């Protein structure tokens, strides 16, 4: 009874007295094919139990004496894909679970074969990356739409940032502790072996983790979870890559309890959809698992995804217009007639996971995982020293910057007519280096050591993050009674990432020098200020040498959690608590000449003790109608990347660094009738006291500054509606609506610090952004889908989508009193400075379809079941090239003229029509 009082304290749900009288608690149902034929002999198993029955000739089954609650059924049948189905069982009543199985030729997971575009492939580890990539294969209508259909529009579930979702690989948390982002890119291209997933959406409890605000995803890629088969596929596309080949083999359970699985994939393109981009990615995977008796399973899985790709960069509309294309890419230029991209990512971070599953007894199990990620992510960029900015869309190169109208028209005509003028001029960069003969005195810090040669004005640098992450986590599940189950766990994550720069290419020069040209300009009389590394002054750099900044992020997070689930006939409850300790510090490996006293060595260690608690209740009107409400409150340590004023140069921590506080309420209604499926969820999330740091050139202070924003509050509210209805044999209609409003609810405070002197230029300047919108996602997204699935093993699907209320990321310095100094309130100039830009709402139309053939029907000689599957998808059929899916205002603002167009916003556009054709051969 005490527990009931506790629940009533934080649950908004009306408390209904629940009865616990013993009656028959059972699941009954019929298993049919998509063509409504009953399937005989299908095996229906209640997961995590030993309950198993076979279906009769009518496809019917009955599972008696099941425990109430949300149960997972697994249905396997020969020639059909294995299906998992969740059923909510009310104590004392009989629940119905009619399940339609897809023939294995029919590809129940057919959607997986066509990857969505905005995912890991394109936005590989950019901050714009969204969660949808991890959601694939979900059977939840809403989640499925959020990942496939809304993905290309950069849709984010509930507008949440990536750090509000949790991903586990074979039980190990895959969170990058610098930013809280899930590291999906670790298994890029390994689609075949990462399909086996469990999801918990929102605050819902799960058996594998405490979870996260937006949901948790547990991927199981170990060998025993891979189907016994060999499968090879080839795909043709015109997206970020043009070709993809995959081959995957699973041994199935071998003698002695062993299973082995392996997979390889290649994705490549000489030039992707965007000019100047290329793609060269490999995926590899190997897993071995040993079942020891019935109680122990031990697996080791290694995977990696080495990627090398030329990236594209967003630009200003002026350049898009001059280029005549919204897919203009300023990141490349011609060199000797070949396209060369300056912005190349080169990444390889292998992941190893050891997993031990111990089924202790009928009611309890313990799952322990150990993971290791180690490897580098390199991103190249141009760097220059005492030379003009080489970027073709630099603001001084734009016609709009030129005041003389005749000269501006000439510049515009040149940029419009000459592709070379719009792109990087590599030849000019080489020439500048060839003509630069200089002598460096006291080179490498040695008195009298003079080095002469071609000193580089331009180089290609690599910005490198070298990560080592180790995690240990363990989850214990225990069914305490028929009604009560306990889940508890702990995790220890330890990460060390070394950030530094490296000379990638001297572009024809003999050497580069490790000096800070801005410090040289600002402090001409201080010979030590310009040294990036005072301990190694005037260092001569060759290709491959480290330079610039070099620091390590040391991070540790230890957490323990427990969750109690109570399931009764009318009501389910859960409550969970997590306690965690996060600590981090910075270690500088170089002594920066500007900050000799606080750039080298360890920073003060930052420690945060945090808690998270959540709870919820589900009221079951009957076996089909459910009402639920969940509530959560948590505090969260700031991420490493937001905690230092200027993490590249020094150990100075942001003033007033504090925990973020998050309150979340979600609730809704679910209908799971045999035909109509309906989901309506509302949510209200309040984020308080977030911190963020950025560095940029400040137009008012006329210097490069570090900007620390504190006291950032946001409110995310909205509804998620999803419905699916089978209209007629094989024809299904679906509709999904995600309508949210994500706004800032505070006026954050900005502290501006000069990057070169640590002088505080402005303390706690108020940023007036209350009710500004959270950018980077459509806040409303709609889709209507028509799906037809034929008995002849083919299907087609058409989705009509509409996206609206996408906002452009705003520049905080433009929302200050200084930015509108002496500007007439309400005037055009005033509005131009302050208004947050909303992009136009857009329609898109997507198609996908597929067909499969069983070769055994045609070639009797085949011993194994052999299938050929053809899938094709066409996205954005109407070739809408005006769809701005996001963008940001440049952080530089001209405080003199107050003309925001001088540093105009940069936009991302959605690709025009793209296709993806996939052919798979499968033998099992």
Partner 1 sequence: MIKLLQKIGVGIAALLLVFTMPGCVKDEFDAPPAGGQDPNITATHTIAQLKALYTGATLQLTNDIIIVGVVTADDKSGNFYKTMVIQDATGGISIRLDQSNYYTKFPIGRRVFVKCKGLYIGEYRKLIQLGGSIDNTDPQNPTPSTIPSTLVSTYLVGGKYGIVTAPVHVSIQALHADPVGFINTYQSMLVKFDTVEFAAADTSRTYADAVSKLSVNRNLTNCTNNSIIVRTSGYSNFASRITPAGNGSLVAIMSVFSTGIPDATKAQLLLRDENDVRMSNLRCNSVPPPPGSLITIAALRAMYAGTTMTVPAGNKIKGIVITDKDNGNITAKNLILQDSTGGIVVRFTANNSFVMNSEIELSIGGMELSTFSGQLQLNNVPNANATQTGTGTVTPKVATISQIITNFNAWESTLVKIMNTTITGTSGTTYGSTSGNRTLNDGTGTLILYTQTAASFANTNHPTGSVSVTGILVPFNTTKEIVLRNLSDVQ
Q: Which residues bind partner 1 (CB under 8 A)?
A: 12-14, 619, 621-622, 624-629, 665-669, 671, 673, 678, 680, 682, 684, 715, 717, 719, 741, 743-744, 747, 766, 768-772, 815-817, 819-823, 825, 830, 834-836
Shortest spacing between CB 213 and partner 1, in angstroms: 17
DSSP conformation letters of 715-765? EEEEEEEEEEEEEETTEEEEEEEEEEEEEE-S--EEEEEETTT--EEEEEE
Shortest spacing between CB 605 and partner 1, in angstroms: 33
Q: Report how far residue 690's alpha carbon sits from residue 661's, in angstroms, rounded to the nearest whole number.
A: 8
Between 11 and 263, CB nearer to partner 1 = 11
Collapsing DSSP states into helix, strand and coil, what is residue 210?
coil
Shortest spacing between CB 697 and partner 1, in angstroms: 17
Sign of the alpha-carbon dihedral angle for 594, 588, 185, 743: negative
Between 250 and 667, CB nearer to partner 1 = 667
Closest to 353 (Cα-Cα) out of 370, 337, 329, 367: 370
Computed on alpha carbons and rounded to an integer, the radius of gyration of the chain in Å comes to 29
Between 292 and 621, CB nearer to partner 1 = 621
735: left (phi over 0), alpha (psi -120 to 50) or beta: beta
Q: Residues 66, 67, 72, CA angle at the centre, nearest 5°?
A: 80
Shortest spacing between CB 36 and partner 1, in angstroms: 21
What are the strands, taking DSSP E only, across 251-385? 258-269, 279-292, 296-304, 307-310, 315-316, 332-335, 338-341, 344-348, 351-361, 364-384
Sign of the alpha-carbon dihedral angle for 394, 397, 399, 402: positive
Shortest spacing between CB 831 and partner 1, in angstroms: 9
CB under 8 A, 24+ apart: contacts of 728-733: 729/35, 729/36, 730/34, 730/35, 730/788, 730/789, 730/790, 730/791, 731/786, 731/787, 731/788, 731/789, 732/785, 732/786, 732/787, 732/788, 732/789, 733/784, 733/785, 733/786, 733/787
Shortest spacing between CB 770 and partner 1, in angstroms: 4
Q: Report how far residue 130's alpha carbon sits from residue 118's, in angstroms, rounded to the nearest whole number.
A: 8
Between 179 and 836, CB nearer to partner 1 = 836
Between 314 and 668, CB nearer to partner 1 = 668
Between 79 and 702, CB nearer to partner 1 = 702
Between 108 and 752, CB nearer to partner 1 = 752
Strands 26-33 and 94-96: parallel
Shortest spacing between CB 12 and partner 1, in angstroms: 6
Between 290 and 624, CB nearer to partner 1 = 624
Q: Report how far residue 20's alpha carbon sits from residue 63's, in angstroms, rounded to the nearest whole number.
A: 20
Q: Report how far residue 881's alpha carbon sits from residue 891's, in angstroms, rounded to the nearest whole number.
A: 26
Between 259 and 734, CB nearer to partner 1 = 734
Collapsing DSSP states into helix, strand and coil, what is residue 309?
strand
Between 361 and 771, CB nearer to partner 1 = 771
- In this structure, the chain runs to a length of 924
Between 640 and 807, CB nearer to partner 1 = 807
Distances in Å between the Cα of 296 and the Cα atoms of 200, 218, 289, 361, 920 are 26, 20, 10, 11, 35
Shortest spacing between CB 821 and partner 1, in angstroms: 6
Shortest spacing between CB 682 and partner 1, in angstroms: 4
Q: Report how far residue 46's alpha carbon sits from residue 688's, in angstroms, rounded to the nearest whole number.
A: 42
Q: Report how far residue 462's alpha carbon sits from residue 279's, in angstroms, rounded to the nearest whole number.
A: 18
Instruction: Supply 583's token pair.
Output: 């600590």
Between 134 and 820, CB nearer to partner 1 = 820
Contact call for residues 619 and 570 (beta carbons, < 8 A): yes
Shortest spacing between CB 11 and partner 1, in angstroms: 9
Shortest spacing between CB 807 and partner 1, in angstroms: 11
Contact call for residues 779 and 719 (beta carbons, < 8 A): no
The 3-state secondary structure of 614-681, one letter per residue: EEEEEEECCCCEEEEEEEEEEEECCCHHHCECCCCCCCCECCCCCCEEEEEEEEEEEEECCCCEEEEE
Shortest spacing between CB 744 and partner 1, in angstroms: 8
Shortest spacing between CB 689 and partner 1, in angstroms: 18
Between 84 and 747, CB nearer to partner 1 = 747
Shortest spacing between CB 667 and partner 1, in angstroms: 4
Q: Report how far residue 55's alpha carbon sits from residue 37's, in angstroms, rounded to the nearest whole number.
A: 13
Shortest spacing between CB 729 and partner 1, in angstroms: 20
Between 796 and 823, CB nearer to partner 1 = 823
Q: Residues 132, 126, 420, CA angle at the centre, nearest 5°?
A: 120
Between 321 and 741, CB nearer to partner 1 = 741
């Amino acid at each position: 009874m005490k527990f009931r009082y506790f629940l009533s304290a934080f649950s908004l749900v009306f408390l209904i007295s629940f009865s616990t009288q013993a009656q028959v608690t059972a699941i009954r149902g019929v298993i049919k094919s998509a063509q409504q034929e009953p399937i005989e002999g299908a095996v229906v198993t209640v997961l995590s139990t030993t309950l198993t029955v076979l279906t009769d000739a009518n496809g019917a089954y009955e599972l008696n004496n099941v425990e109430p609650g949300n149960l997972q059924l697994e249905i396997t049948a020969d020639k059909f894909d294995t299906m998992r189905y969740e059923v909510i069982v009310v104590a004392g009543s009989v629940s119905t679970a009619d399940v339609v199985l897809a023939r294995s030729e029919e590809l129940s997971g057919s959607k997986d074969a066509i990857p969505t575009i905005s995912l890991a492939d394109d936005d590989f580890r950019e901050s714009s990356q969204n969660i949808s990539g991890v959601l694939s294969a979900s059977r939840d209508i809403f989640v499925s739409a959020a990942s496939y259909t809304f993905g290309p529009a950069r849709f984010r579930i509930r507008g949440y940032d990536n750090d509000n979702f949790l991903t586990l690989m074979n039980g190990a948390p895959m969170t990058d502790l610098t930013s809280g982002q899930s590291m999906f890119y670790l298994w890029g291209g390994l689609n075949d072996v990462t399909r086996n997933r469990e999801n918990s959406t929102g605050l819902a409890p799960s058996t594998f983790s405490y979870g996260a605000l937006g949901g948790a995803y547990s991927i199981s890629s170990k060998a025993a979870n891979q189907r016994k088969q060999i499968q090879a596929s080839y795909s043709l596309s015109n997206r970020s890559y043009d070709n993809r080949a995959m081959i995957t083999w699973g041994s199935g359970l071998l003698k002695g309890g062993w299973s082995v699985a392996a997979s390889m994939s290649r994705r490549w393109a000489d030039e992707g959809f965007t000019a100047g981009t290329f793609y060269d990615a490999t995926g590899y995977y190997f897993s071995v698992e040993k079942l020891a008796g019935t109680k122990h399973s031990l697996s080791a899985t290694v995977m990696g995804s080495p990627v090398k790709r030329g990236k594209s960069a967003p630009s200003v509309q002026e350049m898009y217009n001059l280029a005549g294309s919204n897919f203009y890419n300023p990141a490349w230029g011609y060199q000797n007639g070949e396209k060369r991209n300056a912005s190349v990512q080169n990444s390889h971070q292998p992941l190893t996971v050891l997993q031990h599953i111990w089924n202790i007894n009928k009611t309890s199990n313990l799952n322990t995982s150990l993971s290791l990620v180690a490897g580098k992510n390199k991103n190249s960029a141009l760097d220059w020293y005492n030379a003009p900015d080489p970027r073709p869309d630099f603001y001084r190169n734009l016609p709009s910057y030129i005041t003389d109208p005749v000269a501006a028209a000439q510049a515009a005509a040149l940029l419009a007519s000459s592709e070379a003028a719009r792109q990087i001029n590599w030849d000019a960069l080489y020439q500048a280096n060839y003509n630069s003969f200089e002598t460096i005195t006291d080179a490498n810090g040695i008195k009298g050591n003079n080095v002469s040669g071609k000193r580089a004005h331009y180089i290609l640098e690599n910005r490198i993050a070298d990560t080592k992450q180790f995690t240990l986590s363990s989850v214990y599940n225990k069914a305490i009674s028929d009604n009560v189950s306990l889940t508890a766990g702990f995790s220890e994550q330890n990460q060390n990432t070394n950030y530094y720069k490296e000379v990638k290419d001297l572009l024809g020069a003999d050497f580069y020098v490790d000096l800070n040209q801005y410090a040289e300009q600002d402090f001409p009389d201080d010979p030590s200020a310009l040294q990036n590394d005072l301990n190694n002054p005037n260092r001569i750099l060759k290709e491959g040498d480290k330079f610039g900044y070099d620091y390590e992020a040391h991070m540790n997070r230890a957490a323990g959690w427990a969750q109690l689930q109570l399931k009764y006939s009318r009501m389910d409850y859960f409550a969970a608590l997590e306690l965690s300790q996060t600590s981090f510090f910075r270690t500088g490996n170089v002594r920066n000449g500007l900050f000799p006293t606080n750039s080298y060595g360890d920073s003060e260690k930052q420690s945060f003790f945090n808690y998270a608690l959540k709870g919820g209740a589900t009221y079951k009107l009957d076996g089909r109608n459910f009402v639920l409400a969940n509530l959560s409150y948590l505090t969260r340590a700031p991420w490493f990347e937001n905690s230092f004023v200027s993490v590249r140069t020094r150990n100075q921590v942001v003033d007033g660094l504090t925990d973020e506080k998050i309150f979340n309420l979600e609730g809704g209604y679910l209908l799971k009738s045999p035909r109509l499926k309906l989901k309506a969820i509302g949510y209200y999330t309040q984020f308080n006291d977030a911190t963020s740091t950025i560095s940029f050139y400040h137009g008012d202070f006329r210097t490069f500054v570090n900007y620390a924003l504190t006291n950032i509050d946001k409110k995310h509210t909205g509804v998620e509606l999803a419905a699916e209805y089978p209209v007629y044999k094989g024809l299904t209609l679906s509709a999904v609506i995600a309508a949210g409003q994500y706004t800032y609810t505070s006026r954050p405070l900005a502290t501006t610090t000069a990057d070169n002197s640590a002088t505080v230029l402005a303390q706690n300047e108020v940023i007036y952004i209350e009710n500004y919108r959270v950018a980077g996602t459509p806040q409303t997204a709609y889709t209507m889908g028509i799906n037809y699935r034929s008995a002849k093993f083919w299907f087609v699907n058409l989705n009509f989508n509409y996206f609206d209320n996408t906002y452009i990321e705003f520049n905080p310095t433009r929302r200050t009193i200084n930015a509108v100094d002496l500007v007439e309130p309400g005037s055009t100039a005033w509005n131009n400075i302050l208004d947050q830009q909303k992009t136009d709402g857009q329609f898109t139309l997507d198609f996908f379809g597929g067909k499969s053939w069983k070769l055994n029907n045609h070639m009797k000689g085949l011993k194994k079941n052999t299938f050929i599957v053809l899938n094709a998808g066409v996205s954005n059929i109407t070739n809408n090239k005006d769809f701005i899916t996001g963008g940001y205002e440049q952080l530089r603002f001209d405080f003199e003229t107050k003309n925001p167009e001088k540093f105009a916003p940069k936009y991302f556009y959605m690709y025009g029509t793209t296709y993806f054709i996939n052919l798979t051969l499968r033998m099992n």
